[in-house]
Chain A
Amino acid sequence: MIEDLKKTFLDELESVKSLADLSNLKVKYLGRKGIITAELKSLSSIPPDERPLHGKKINDIKQFIEEKLDSRESQLKKEELGRQLLSDSLDITLSGKFTTFGREHPINKILSEITDIFVRMGFSVEEGPEVELDYYNFEALNIPKDHPARDMQDTFYISDDIVLRTHTSPVQVRVMEKRKPPVRFIAPGKVYRCDADITHTPMFHQIEGLMVDKGITFSNLKGVLEAFLHRMFGADTPVRFRPSFFPFTEPSAEVDIGCILCNGAGCRVCKGSGWLEILGAGMVNPRVFENVGYDPEEYSGFAFGMGIERIAMLKYSIDDIRLFFENDIRFLRQF
Chain B
Amino acid sequence: MRVPFEWLKEFIDIKDNADEVAHRLTMIGLEVEAVEHVDGDVVFEVNVTPNRPDCLNIIGIARELAAMYRTPLKFPEHDILAETGELDFNVDILDTELCHRYAGRIIRNIKICPSPDWLKNRLEKCNIRSINNIVDVTNYVLLELGHPLHAFDLSTIKGHLIRVGTPNTVKGQGATAKIKTLDGVEREVSEESLLIWDAERPIAIAGVMGGLETEVADSTVDIFIESAYFEPVSVRRTSKALGLKTESSYRFERGTDIKMLKKALDRTAYLMKEVAGGIVCGKIDIYTRRYMPEEISVRYEKVNEILGLRLTREEISRCLDGLGFEMEESADSLKIKPPAYRRDIKRESDLIEEVARIYGYDRIPAELPKATIGIDVQNSRLKTQGIKNNIKQALLRSGFTEVINYSFMGLHDIDALGIEAGDERRNLIQIKNPLKAEESFMRTTLIPSMIKNLLHNLSHGNRELKLFEIARVFISQKPEVRSRKSEEKTQTAFSLEPSAISLPAEREHLAAIYYKEKTKTLYRDDAHDFYIVKGLVEAILNDLKIYDYSFVRSPETFLHPGQSADIFIMDTKIGYMGALSPAIANSLDIKAHKPSVIVLEIDIDSIIPHGMQQVKYRPLPKYPYIERDTAIIVDSAIEASMLMKLLKSYPSDLIEDISIFDVYQGKNIPEGRKSIAFNVRYRASDRTLKDDEIDVLHNSLVNYILDKTKGQLRQ
Contact = CB atoms under 8 A, between A and B. Distances in A.
Interface in B1-53: 26-29, 31, 33-35, 49-52
Contacts of B26: 242
Interface string B118-134: 00000000000000000
A108 B495 contact: no
A269 to B, nearest CB: 14
B371 interface: yes
Given A240-B362, A333-B401, A286 B347 contact: yes
A285 B373 CA distance: 25
Contacts of A185: 376
Given A124-B379, A133-B503, A202 B52 contact: no
B374 A216 contact: no
A102 B353 contact: no
B613 interface: no
Contacts of A97: 522-523
Contacts of A226: 366
Contacts of A219: 307-309, 364-367
B100 interface: no
A196 B34 contact: no
A328 B232 CA distance: 47
A325 to B, nearest CB: 6
Nearest to A132: B503
Given A100-B399, A102-B398, A300-B306, A157 B431 contact: yes
Interface in A190-233: 190, 192, 194, 196, 201-203, 211, 213, 215-220, 222-224, 226-227
Given A101-B399, A196-B435, A133 B492 contact: no
A177 B430 CA distance: 28
Is chain B's interface secondary structure helix, strand, loop, or mixed overall? loop
Contacts of B232: 148
A151 to B, nearest CB: 7
A105, A219, A226, A290, most chain B CB atoms within 10 A: A219
Given A122-B374, A224-B368, A283-B306, A243 B51 contact: no
B33 A271 contact: yes
A135 interface: yes
B460 interface: yes
Nearest to A196: B435
Given A104-B402, A184-B371, A218-B364, A157 B490 contact: no
B614 interface: no
Contacts of A17: none
The listed residue with most A CB atoms (<10 A of its CB), out of B367, B430, B490, is B367
Given A101-B396, A101-B399, A329-B465, A251 B352 contact: yes
A333 B361 CA distance: 42
A161 interface: yes
Contacts of B401: 102-103, 329, 332-333
Interface in A61-106: 94-95, 97-105
A205 B372 CA distance: 30
A245 B373 CA distance: 32
A159 B522 CA distance: 57
Interface string B216-251: 000000000000000011001100000000000000
Interface string B477-520: 00000000110111011111000010110100000000000000
Contacts of B674: none
A22 interface: no
A179 B430 CA distance: 33
B418 interface: no
A152 interface: yes
A174 interface: yes
A172 to B, nearest CB: 13
A132 B466 CA distance: 33
Contacts of B474: 130-131
B405 interface: yes
A7 interface: no
B383 to A, nearest CB: 12
A306 interface: no
Given A292-B492, A292-B493, A326-B456, A157 B432 contact: yes
B357 A250 contact: no
Nearest to A329: B457
A202 B503 contact: no
Given A148-B236, A178-B488, A253-B361, A218 B308 contact: yes
B305 A223 contact: no
B356 A223 contact: no
B512 to A, nearest CB: 10
A227 B371 CA distance: 15
Contact of A222 (B366, B399, B457): B366
A198 to B, nearest CB: 15
A158 B432 contact: yes
A101 B397 contact: yes
A267 interface: no
A218 B356 contact: yes
Interface in B444-467: 453, 456-457, 460, 462, 465-467
Given A99-B399, A130-B407, A177 B490 contact: yes
B424 to A, nearest CB: 16
A146 B600 CA distance: 45
Contact of A327 (B307, B405, B431, B471): B405
Contacts of A9: none
Nearest to B521: A98
Contacts of B495: 135, 139
B197 interface: no
Given A103-B402, A223-B367, A217 B408 contact: no
Contacts of B378: 179
A109 to B, nearest CB: 9
Given A102-B400, A105-B403, A129-B485, A251 B353 contact: yes
B503 A162 contact: yes
A327 B407 contact: no
Given A177-B489, A218-B356, A253-B361, A213 B457 contact: no
A146 to B, nearest CB: 4
A250 B352 contact: yes
Nearest to B51: A245
B504 A245 contact: no
Contact of B367 (A135, A220, A283): A220
Given A122-B373, A202-B408, A244 B29 contact: yes
A174 B33 contact: no
Contacts of B356: 218, 243, 251
A148 B309 contact: no
Contact of A131 (B349, B353, B439, B503): B503
A293 interface: yes
Given A227-B368, A286-B349, A328-B457, A156 B434 contact: yes
Contact of B369 (A164, A190, A203, A213): A213
A241 B399 CA distance: 43
Contacts of A242: 26-27, 29, 31, 361
Nearest to A302: B369
Contacts of A324: 404
A94 B430 CA distance: 54
A194 B34 contact: no
B493 A291 contact: yes
Q: Which of A196, A223, A324 counts the most B-chain CB atoms under 10 A from its CB?
A: A223
5 contacts: A99-B399, A126-B379, A130-B407, A177-B492, A253-B361
Given A129-B503, A157-B432, A293-B493, 9 more contacts: A102-B400, A124-B376, A125-B381, A131-B474, A149-B51, A174-B489, A222-B364, A243-B29, A244-B31
Interface of A: 94-95, 97-105, 107-108, 122, 124-127, 129-133, 135, 139-140, 146-149, 151-152, 156-159, 161-162, 164, 174, 177-179, 182, 184-185, 190, 192, 194, 196, 201-203, 211, 213, 215-220, 222-224, 226-227, 240-245, 247, 250-254, 271-272, 283, 285-287, 290-293, 300, 324-330, 332-333
CB-based closest 4 A-B pairs: A219-B308, A217-B308, A243-B29, A245-B49
